[in-house]
Amino acid sequence: MSNKKAVVKEKTETDIQEIVNHYFYSKGLALEQIKEDAKKKKIIYSRFTRPAKQLLELAGSKEKAKEAINKVAEWANSRELDYAIETVFKKWLELDRLKPKEIVKKPYYREDPMVWSETKKKWYVISPDGEWLEFAGREGEIEWKTIK
């Protein structure tokens, strides 16, 4: 009986390691980098094992725990926020509503911003001095830039 218990404990530790490693992968670290940083004491690996175990218990499986980490990582990264495994606990009840921030792209023509006039159904280029100039080019010449 005790032999079976030891096997279960060993497996749980492996699942916990997987969750901790997955957390670091979501932060953009590779396994070799994690190991190297742990040796150099840049990462105190043991600090992450308790929250990983709690997340495993909360999620019910390592797969669900990893999915939850992915959702929180995507949400936090899109907002340029830092996150920890504990953030997954805090956001647990709203995981299904947690969405990454929408990427907004704005139209530009030769580095000048543009606006669409719904009433006139035309594009206008806003000159550096604020004047609205009617856009006479082709739609393919409009450059869409991501604005933070």
pLDDT tens-digit profile of 81-92?
Answer: 999 999 998 999
- Decide if pLDDT at 1 tops 70: no
pLDDT at position 61 = 94
135 and 72 fall within a common domain = no
More confident residue, 123 or 3: 123
24 and 72 fall within a common domain = yes
- Decide if pLDDT at 111 tops 80: yes
Three-class SS of 42-88: CCCCHHHHHHHHHHHHHHCCHHHHHHHHHHHHHHHHHCCCCCCHHHH
92 and 120 fall within a common domain = no
Total domains, the chain? 2
DSSP 121: T
For a pLDDT cut of 90, what percent of the chain falls above it? Answer: 55
118 and 86 fall within a common domain = no
DSSP 100: P
88 and 117 fall within a common domain = no
Q: In which domain, by residue range, is 57 found?
A: 2-97
92 and 121 fall within a common domain = no
Name the CA radius of gyration of the chain, rounded.
24
83 and 135 fall within a common domain = no
User: Integer distance in angstroms from the first to the last C-alpha of the chain?
Assistant: 58
DSSP 95: G
